[in-house]
Amino acid sequence: MTPLEEELLARLDASRDRSIAFLRDLLRVPSPNPPGDTRAAAGFLQQALREAGLQSEVHSPHPEMPNIVCSFHGGSEGRHLVLNGHIDVFPVAEDEWTRGPWGGEIVDGRI
């Protein structure tokens, strides 16, 4: 393993609990599509970015489906990393779940 890989894994391990808490909190914000209303989930993500000291912009071609754009300078020249994702999730038939789909529960070490 390279020193860079070792450093990355060490940083991931150091932030493990915080990352799991973030994911669980995000999962507790319903954003099924349809209907496609992701405002609450977008608000959650914007707040998390603010708490991390980052600024973001909202672009809303559809009022109920905001897009969040955030960028920051990593401190040195070199490669760039772009992350792109979506906030909405597939529709949920709650009766098909053994646990609530918006609970973010940890069972047997899995969310």
Q: Are residues 46 and 83 in the same domain?
A: yes
Q: Note the pTM of the prediction, 2 decimals.
A: 0.85
Residues 7 and 52 placed together within one structural domain of the fold: no
Number of domains making up the chain: 2
Same structural domain for residues 25 and 61?
A: no
Pick from 102, 71, 66: which is nearest to 86 by CA?
66
Identify whether residues 85 and 64 lie together within a single domain: yes
Give CA–CA dist 98/6, Å, rounded.
38
The DSSP annotation for 62-78 comes to STTS-EEEE----SSSS
Residue 107 has pLDDT above 90, yes or no: yes
Is 65 found in the same domain as 51? yes
- Specify whether 85 is located in the same domain as 111: no
CA atoms within 13 A of residue 55's CA, in its CB half-sphere: 2
Judge if 110 and 60 occupy the same domain: no
What's the pLDDT score for residue 8?
94
pLDDT per residue as tens digits for the range 37-74: 999 999 999 999 999 999 999 999 999 999 999 998 88
Per-residue pLDDT tens digits for 72-103: 888 888 888 888 999 999 888 888 888 888 99
Name the amino acid, one letter, at 51. E
7 and 25 assigned to the same domain: yes
Give me the amino acid identity at 6. Answer: E
Report d(CA 63, CA 78) in Å as an integer: 36
Give me the pLDDT at residue 80, please: 83
Structural domain boundaries enclosing 62: 33-91
